[in-house]
Structure 1
């Protein structure tokens, strides 16, 4: 596990370094553990995090797999552009993802999208979430579409996905179920103890809403030869 002196790199000077350090900390990994996974040396992981390297694509693929993410996410490539413009992969196949793996992919917290019926009809918007005891927890504004839906116990859909356009593959997880506003002291304390999701959009969003999914499904697109496949490069030196 990460030690206190390497969880937050103090001399990060590149976007790649920040993303690598942040992802490593999220997974609770030390540099030594990442190096072992990536077939590298701890000193080089430190170099990637703290300086401005230009590692080759082969090492980036290994590093992305070691950090259980994608080359696109690590490099921030196309981060300001809408995803999905890459060509379909050769001999791509779609697989269903079981419920247990869907929860694993949600990774406890992150940013997803909620589809909810609002005053002007159906709306979809991104927001931070936290997984607490088999429910999805959101922080939202008291007068938001999500808060109004929760007040009436309406059903919403929540989705998170990951795309690796470099290899034309990715996954998507969908949860559907009713939402409710959380106000009782016991539930509020339970959510706070788990680490309430801090909204990226800023203050003023202090209404806690939980989604209790009645349906959890997922799909994955795999491309032969891409990282993460049986004949891919994930395990290559």
Structure 2
């Protein structure tokens, strides 16, 4: 639901405001909806996003819960920390994720990692991506490893994951298949209309590459009692 607050395209002036706005957009929530979840007012959510506030910890906790994240992530406390440093969960178990749910978890777009064969071995690097019609789309530089792989139709591996370190659980999705360069006008326009990914690394990456997966697999680690764990999961093998 779009609102008058959402249509302003304000100048966000704080790191907290940027993270709040980005997370709200990711969840597809309006400021009114976040305010209702957090027990606040839409105007205050706008203030948090657009100003340089220092809200109290009680409100930050409510806001993090409303945005289904943590205070640490909203405030950027862990932004420079490598993920996966927590301890394994008690009675954790791993389960396979079906292909349909794998695509749902990819959420249409994001940042993942791609593994490409180079002259001296495998190279793995982060890439912005968008899922379009059962393919993964990347924008890259014409002289990049990914572009060279696409020119020859080489096979690559692409991985995306999420970690909830507080509860020692998470998931990962792996796609394997050939990549190709997209050059015909109709395909380029179709992907552009769907919203091509914008690389964080900046301009000069205007070569469009698609990954057509022949294999889509996923795994999830669940910990009994953690959020999102179905009732009765404890004790299952």
TM class by shorter-chain length?
0.7 to 0.9
Other-structure match for 2:104:
104
Work out the number of aligned pairs and report it: 227
Give the match for residue 41 of structure 1.
40
Q: Secondary structure at the match of 2:143?
A: coil
- Quick one: distance in 2 between partners of 1:7 and 1:228? 33
Taking structure 1 as the reference length, what is the TM-score of the superposition? Answer: 0.85
> Residues 72 and 174 from structure 1, CA distance in 2 versus in 1: closer, same or farther, beyond 3 angstroms?
farther
Which consecutive unaligned segments of at least 5 residues does structure 2 have? 232-237
Secondary structure at the residue paired with 2:23? helix
Residue 55 of structure 1: aligned partner: 57
In 2, distance between residues paired with 1:136 and 1:143? 20
Whether 2:20 is the aligned partner of 1:17: answer no
Given that 2:180 and 2:211 are in contact with CA atoms closer than 8 Å, whether structure 1 keeps it comes out as yes
Which structure 2 residues correspond to residues 1-150 of structure 1 after superposition, within 5 A?
A: 1-6=1-6, 10=10, 12-36=12-36, 38=37, 40-43=39-42, 45-46=45-46, 48-49=48-49, 50=51, 51-56=53-58, 59=62, 62-65=65-68, 69=69, 73-150=73-150
SS class of match (1:32): helix
Q: Distance in 2 between matches of 1:39 and 1:230?
A: 25
Instruction: Give the gaps of 5 or more residues in structure 1.
Output: 232-237
Question: Per-residue deviation at 1:60?
Answer: 5.3
Deviations 1:6-50 (A, max 9, x none): 3667374542332121121233311222344x3523345445435
Distance 1:212 1:202, change over 3 A: same
> What is the CA deviation profile of residues 65-105 of structure 1, one whole-angstrom value per residue up to 9, with x for unaligned ones?
2xxx5555433232112111111122222222221111111
TM-score w.r.t. structure 2 length?
Answer: 0.85
Kept after mapping to 1: 8 A contact 2:141/2:204? yes
Structure 1 222/16 Cα, relative in aligned 2: closer, same or farther at 3 Å? farther
Confirm or deny: 8 A CA contact 1:115 1:122 kept in the other structure.
yes
Q: CA RMSD in A?
A: 2.3
Taking the aligned partners of 2:40 and 2:136, their CA distance within structure 1 comes to: 38
